[in-house]
Structure 1
Amino acid sequence: MDISLLASLAVIHLVALMSPGPDFAIVVKMATQQTRLTAVYCALGIAAAILVHTLLSLLGISVMIQQSPLAYMAVQLIGSSYLAWMGLGALTSALKTRKLTRQPATLVATPIDNVPKMSAFKGFKIGLYTNLLNPKALIFFITLFTVLITPQVGYATKTAAAILLFSLSFIWFGLLALVLSKPRIQQKLLAASSIIDLLVGIIFIAVAVTIAGNIMSQWLT
């Protein structure tokens, strides 16, 4: 087993996990507006999607998708559409919260009361789809594994890499969910729920627009 290779993978992956993006944004949204269990399951969904990306990359399926113009175009269209839909939903939620907070104090419910409660399974699905349908995640893992995981790497190291990336993903996002869903922290962030939704919407739509721009450039070249 190549320990130095696994250490390099761990460092690169941790930096990517901590970078602002759809995964980070959706966990923050879930942790501050939903139950702790739902937020943790959302983190688990993201980790599961990362495991799928890892396995697809190790098996060479991701490269095959990228090399097929039609398949890659379909993946980008589906992914960008989902991210745009999620982004618009977050922006709509932000506007609704803004309108409610402008009502007389006696008529205004707390922000958390205005957010429909999700089941843990739905939280898992949102986390799963957010990462799995993000074409940028696909490209990240193709690049990462093309550079670091050569044909000479043994099965033991590949298996360890899959377990490592899944574990790091769940630990990071799980801890984020646990910390932000603490009652005291959640209560402090409730007042900023509209801002959180706004930022989440902007992040998702920005990624969707970037992907759409890439699709357009591919068609024009």
Structure 2
Amino acid sequence: MDITLLASLAVIHLVALMSPGPDFAIVVKMAAQQTRLTAMYCALGIAVAILVHTLLSLMGISVMIQQSPLAYVVVQLIGSGYLAWMGFGALMSAINTIKLKRQPAQVVTTQCDNVAKMSSFKGFKIGLYTNLLNPKALIFFITLFTVLITPQVGNSTKIAAAVLLFSLSFVWFGLLALVLSKPRIQQKLLAANSIIDLLVGIIFITVAVTIASNIISNM
């Protein structure tokens, strides 16, 4: 087992995990607006998606998708469409929250109490799709494994790499969900709901537009 290679993968992956993006944004949104369990399941969904990306890259399927112009465009279109849809939903939520705050306090309290909470499974699906359908994640893992995982790397190291990346992903986003869903912190985040939704919407739509622009420029 190549410990040096695994350490390099761990450092690069941790830097990527901590960088602001759709994954980070969706966990913050879930931790702020949903239950702790739902936020944790969202983190698990992201980690499972990263495991899928890892396995696809190790098996060479991701490279095959990238090398097929039609398949790659389809994957990018589906991914950008999903991110744009999620971003639009977050922006609409921000607008509705701002409108709600302009109403009498009693009306605001009543309507906030009636906000439906997501199930844990839905939180898992949102986390899973947010990472799995993000073409930028696909490109990241293709690049990472093309450079570091050469044909000479043994199967034990590949298996260890898959377990390592999954574990780091779940630990990072799980801790983020745990910390941000603490009652005191969540209460402060709830007060900034509209700002969180606005930022999430901007991040998702910006990524979607960037992907769409790349598709158009490459045609």
What range describes the TM-score normalised by the shorter chain of this pair?
Answer: over 0.9
Indicate the residue corresponding to 2:156 in structure 1.
156
- Contact kept? 1:111, 1:191, Cα under 8 Å: no
Where in structure 2 are the equivalents of 1:7-156 lying within 5 Å?
7-109=7-109, 113=113, 115-156=115-156
Within 1, Cα distance between the matches of 2:129 and 2:195?
A: 23
| CA contact 1:111–1:193 (8 Å) conserved in 2 | no
Aligned partners of 1:87 and 1:204 also within 8 Å: yes
Distance 2:92 2:205 in 1: 13
Query: In the alignment, is the contact (CA less than 8 A) between 1:41 and 1:121 conserved in 2?
Result: yes
Q: What do residues 95-151 of structure 1 show as CA deviations (whole Å, max 9, x unaligned)?
A: 000000011122212785364210000000000000000000000000000000000
- How big is the shift at 1:189? 1.1
The answer on whether the counterparts of 1:46 and 1:128 sit within 8 Å (CA) in structure 2 is: yes
Query: Are the equivalent residues in 2 in contact too, given 1:51–1:162 (CA < 8 A)?
Result: yes
The verdict on how the C-alpha distance between 1:112 and 1:21 changes in structure 2, with shifts beyond 3 A counting, is farther
Q: Which runs of 4+ in 1 moved over 6 A?
A: none
Partners of 1:68 and 1:14 in 2: how far apart? 30
Count of residue correspondences: 219
Distance 1:111 1:134 in 2: 33
Distance 1:105 1:127 in 2: 33
Distance 2:29 2:43 in 1: 11
Gaps of 5+ in 2: none
Contact 1:112–1:190 (Cα < 8 Å) also in 2: no
With structure 1 as the length reference, what TM-score do the two structures score? 0.97
